[in-house]
Amino acid sequence: MQAQSTMQGVRSDPTLALRFRAMTECDVAAVCASDRAAYEHPWTEGIFRDCLRVGYSCWVGEIEGENVAHAVMAVAVGECHILNLCIHPGWQGRGLGRRLLRHLMTFARTRRADSAFLEVRASNNRARALYASEGFCEIGQRPGYYPATKGREDAVVLARAL
């Protein structure tokens, strides 16, 4: 079976091979399109370009050459900080977020990180459940951290040992 376009939100075979590779400048437009589809307040092309420029660990997840996921992570001084983890909405609910998260954790270990941190919107129960199932625990909150339709939204700060 062949996968149908995610832009139509249809997949005929969710077991297709997900392949991770380093993000490049050439990916930024597609990554931004995916971020816009997934988030009400997406990152800009400039933010992604800056992350690439400063050497953050930037990844793209592809199925049959189609960009279905991306992530940005900073790794330094024994820690990693997941800054962005996104699955295109047409591919959500298929376990790709878990696979991408595990890829990031494995990569962070190769860079000698022994702990991982991230922030997640307080209202993002689906992501919070994923992170909890992968060993992340709440260690704090950042009031008003995220822009929201009506003002600001708190971030929940999560951490886990690697």
Instruction: Choose the catalytic residue: 131, 134, 145, 153.
Output: 131
Taking alpha carbons only, the member of 152, 151, 127, 150 closest to residue 138 is: 127
Report whether 126 contacts 94 (CB < 8 A). Answer: no
**Six token digits for residue 111:** 């860079």
Contact between 100 and 62 under an 8 Å Cβ cutoff? The reply is no
Q: Quickly list H helices, 67-124.
A: 96-110
Select which of 56, 62, 119, 146 is catalytic.
Answer: 119
Q: Are 108 and 73 in contact (CB under 8 A)?
A: yes
Distance from C-alpha of 148 to C-alpha of 41, rounded to nearest angstrom: 8
Among this protein's residues, is 64 annotated catalytic? no
Q: Is 12:4 a contact under the CB 8 Å cutoff?
A: yes
Cross-strand bridge partners of residue 156: 120, 141
Query: Among this protein's residues, is 131 annotated catalytic?
Result: yes
The set of catalytic residues is 119, 131
